[in-house]
Structure 1
Amino acid sequence: MVRVTRALLREYGRFMDDLRIYVRGGAGGMGHARLGGEGGKGGDVWLVAQEKITLKRIKDRYPRKRFTAGVGANSSVAALRGGKGKDCEVNVPPGISVTTDDGKVFGELNQTGDRLLVAQGGIGGCLATHFLPSKGQRHMIHLDLKLIADVGLVGFPNAGKSSLLTKISHATPQIADYAFTTIKPELGIVKYADFKQITVADLPGLIEGAHANKGRGHKFLKHVERTKQLLFVVDVSGFQLSSTTPFRTAFETVVLLAKELELYKEELRTKPALLAVNKMDLPSAQEKLNEFMEQLQSPQDYMHTLSKKMIPQITVKFKEIIPISAHTGEGIEELIMCLRKVLDEEAEKKIEDYQRQQLRGLRLSEI
């Protein structure tokens, strides 16, 4: 077990979801005082979202992690207005949020082709600056990758999320019978008969205390932010991380997962959520499922098993609850259709909300 765990940690080290780099805009060019010429503006540094780019690849290709734009051309007799310095474009993967060391938010790049200016070039020398150029902006910035997926699988380690992803999509995540098998986010694609496709992200398993960055807490939770809906996956028989940690029933597991999401960011409570009750092929699974469903119908009657600090302020209301077996395939087709149904309903709701806002705006403009 120790050898396996160390191997997993080495593998995790090959995946990067954050990178700190230095960016600097080019200095402006010198003005020509005698002839009143203006120096060229320094080049800018842009981040550009591109497919097939990873943060690890950026680090390997540019080990110094420094990106500098070109200097503006000096004004001269031949060219009184100096040319602009060459821009520097840094290709990054989609799903990047960009911040400075002091916490200033530059913006996000969510789709391929998105561009973000992170360091402006300096102004060329001109009359207003006594023909002296200015330096370009310089920043240490953080590139923070957050997966963008339609569905995010949420569950404690060994709940069967990787096996489920394999069943419903064409992904091939690493699977084994021990906790923390998923050491990096895995994306799968579910394809429907009408050619509709949805992306499903299997994320590293949560543990109690993840909101406080215990385990890989924040590395997991930040990816949840970018998913449109959540699919809770729980073992119908319950869960125990190790012999030194308490055993949690399926009901307690759901409550604790909801609390971890709430403590990390309250907005996560508003995401549409489904519940897949896994491992229904095991002995006594139906009996345990019946008890679990009763607890979900009257959750307040069963909260006494947990301390107050573990109880979420708002109980999760699941759009659908589907018993499944990722091993035998039981309930998988129903789950696949439910994922599509909830996504379509949410998309229609957003369209209706937008139309109502537009109509309200028109009415106000007529007053």
Structure 2
Amino acid sequence: MTEGNFVDYIKIHVNSGKGGKGSTHLRREKAVAKGGPDGGDGGRGGHVIIRGDKNYWTLFHLKFKQHVRATHGGDGGKQTSTGHDGEDAIIEVPLGTVVRDSETNEILKEITENAEEFIVAEGGMGGKGNAHFKTSTNQTPRYSQPGIDGQEKSITLELKVLADVGLVGFPNAGKSTLLSVITAAKPKIADYEFTTLKPNLGIVKYRDFKSFVVADIPGIIEGAAEGKGLGYRFLRHIERNSTLLFLVPADADDIKEAYEILVDELRRYNPELLDKSRLIAISKSDMLDDELKAELDEELKTAFNETPYLYISSVAQTGLQELKDKLWESVSFDKTKAEN
């Protein structure tokens, strides 16, 4: 999937259907001159429904769909026949989609299961026919109820990527390069900041036909939790990852400080993110010799507060198998814990 096809934020205006009118029909047959009211009820207006679909990975199919309308319910007829219900309008979304009210920003629903449905705009009820209003003192009511109007609202769909591992790091830390080496993904790679503007997904093939999904998240900058840089446009994707892989380049001015800034941004955005499994990879480690690594080890063992770390180089392709082993161990542990 190319970056241009990855859409994770969509606004849509939805209209549910209006309910059909109740009928005011009076029964008239050859042998029954005055048969009384037999008007049927109007049909329900169509709902607008959000439905989860595991076959979608992005909101791209909704990119040019600005309005979604359900159809109106049919009017009631004679012989107390009920009008047909309006046809529901279905909006299919990938798993991990958050539905918000665009005006209030309130979260209405989070779609996480395949075929899970949520009625975002209910169709109007059909009106009752005059057959309901017959009384002992009013044998031939010539009135019925109109159908209730449907609902109209603007909604925002936000996708939180469902991946096992999320790559967290500053712009140009080597996340896209790593993803391109350990998966078949082909993210855009360049030597300037914010090369990655949308998340990229890749599947890591592991031993014995096992696999797990890695998401390359756009780079974090200091102040991202307040909306600086790409702000919330990438931080929300991290919420769905079971394991966070922090990438800190070996040529950073201060590796410890760089890691602490990344952790602090996650904490300020959502403290629960720090409860996830963490692994630190010192990227571009082909720039370090054994002596420099030994010096760093003395400093980093205490700096990372027992969070496991390792040295990797995507260019030299060193440390990558060990990285896969540790990620698989973390991902499989998290899945087992979730099942229990």
User: TM bucket by the smaller chain?
Assistant: 0.7 to 0.9
Q: Report the alpha carbon displacement of residue 278 of structure 1 after superposing the two structures with TM.
A: 1.0
Q: Counterpart of 2:239?
A: 225
Q: Report the alpha carbon displacement of residue 36 of structure 1 after superposing the two structures with TM.
A: 4.4
Q: 1:122 aligns with which of 117, 121, 124?
A: 124
When residues 210 and 12 of structure 1 are mapped into structure 2, their CA distance, relative to the original with a 3 A threshold, is farther
What is the CA–CA distance in structure 2 between the aligned matches of 1:349 and 1:156, rounded to whole Å?
30
Q: Report the alpha carbon displacement of residue 95 of structure 1 after superposing the two structures with TM.
A: 2.3
When residues 285 and 121 of structure 1 are mapped into structure 2, their CA distance, relative to the original with a 3 A threshold, is farther
Q: Report the alpha carbon displacement of residue 99 of structure 1 after superposing the two structures with TM.
A: 0.8
Q: Counterpart of 1:275?
A: 280
Q: TM-score, normalised by structure 2?
A: 0.85
Q: Report the alpha carbon displacement of residue 194 of structure 1 after superposing the two structures with TM.
A: 1.9
1:281 alignment partner, SS class: helix
Q: 1:293 aligns with which of 278, 292, 297?
A: 297
Instruction: Please give the per-residue CA displacement for 1:259-296, whole angstroms capped at 9, x wherever unaligned.
Output: 010011111111111011111111x4544433443333
Q: Report the alpha carbon displacement of residue 78 of structure 1 after superposing the two structures with TM.
A: 5.7
- What are the residue-to-residue correspondences of 1:28-43 with 2, within 5 Å? 28-33=19-24, 34-43=37-46
Q: Counterpart of 2:333?
A: 345
Q: 1:45 aligns with which of 26, 44, 48?
A: 48
Q: Counterpart of 2:310?
A: 322
Q: Counterpart of 1:192?
A: 206
Q: Report the alpha carbon displacement of residue 196 of structure 1 after superposing the two structures with TM.
A: 1.6
Q: Counterpart of 1:21?
A: 12
Q: 2:222 aligns with which of 203, 208, 212?
A: 208
For the Cα contact (< 8 Å) 1:258–1:316, is it kept in 2?
A: no
Q: Report the alpha carbon displacement of residue 52 of structure 1 after superposing the two structures with TM.
A: 4.4
The runs of 5 or more residues in structure 1 that have no matched partner are 1-10, 239-247, 300-314, 353-367
Instruction: Tell me, yes or no, if structure 1 residue 331 matches structure 2 residue 319.
Output: yes
Counterpart code for 1:271:
K
Q: Counterpart of 2:98?
A: 97
Instruction: Please give the per-residue CA displacement for 1:155-214, whole angstroms capped at 9, x wherever unaligned.
Output: 011111111111211111111222222222110001123222100000111111111111
- Between the two proteins, the alignment pairs up a number of residues equal to 313
What is the CA–CA distance in structure 1 between the aligned matches of 2:20 and 2:248, rounded to whole Å?
62
Structure with max Cα Rg: 2
Instruction: Tell me, yes or no, if structure 1 residue 177 matches structure 2 residue 180.
Output: no
Q: Counterpart of 2:89?
A: 88
Q: Report the alpha carbon displacement of residue 252 of structure 1 after superposing the two structures with TM.
A: 0.8
For the Cα contact (< 8 Å) 2:41–2:80, is it kept in 1?
A: no
Instruction: Tell me, yes or no, if structure 1 residue 76 matches structure 2 residue 68.
Output: no
Q: Report the alpha carbon displacement of residue 32 of structure 1 after superposing the two structures with TM.
A: 1.8
2:61 alignment partner, SS class: helix
When residues 290 and 78 of structure 1 are mapped into structure 2, their CA distance, relative to the original with a 3 A threshold, is farther
What is the CA–CA distance in structure 2 between the aligned matches of 1:292 and 1:108, rounded to whole Å?
43
Q: Report the alpha carbon displacement of residue 118 of structure 1 after superposing the two structures with TM.
A: 0.7
Instruction: Tell me, yes or no, if structure 1 residue 59 matches structure 2 residue 73.
Output: no
When residues 54 and 346 of structure 1 are mapped into structure 2, their CA distance, relative to the original with a 3 A threshold, is closer
Counterpart code for 2:74:
A
When residues 37 and 79 of structure 1 are mapped into structure 2, their CA distance, relative to the original with a 3 A threshold, is closer
Q: Percent identity?
A: 39
Q: More displaced, 322-331 or 172-181?
A: 172-181
Counterpart code for 1:37:
G
Q: TM-score, normalised by structure 1?
A: 0.79
What is the CA–CA distance in structure 2 between the aligned matches of 1:348 and 1:112, rounded to whole Å?
21
Instruction: Please give the per-residue CA displacement for 1:132-157, whole angstroms capped at 9, x wherever unaligned.
Output: 21111221111011111000000011
Q: Report the alpha carbon displacement of residue 14 of structure 1 after superposing the two structures with TM.
A: 6.5
What is the CA–CA distance in structure 2 between the aligned matches of 1:220 and 1:317, rounded to whole Å?
27
CA-atom RMSD in angstroms: 2.2
Q: Report the alpha carbon displacement of residue 111 of structure 1 after superposing the two structures with TM.
A: 4.4
Q: Which has the higher helix share?
A: 1
Q: Counterpart of 1:262?
A: 267
For the Cα contact (< 8 Å) 2:39–2:77, is it kept in 1?
A: no
Counterpart code for 2:117:
R
1:298 alignment partner, SS class: helix
2:212 alignment partner, SS class: strand
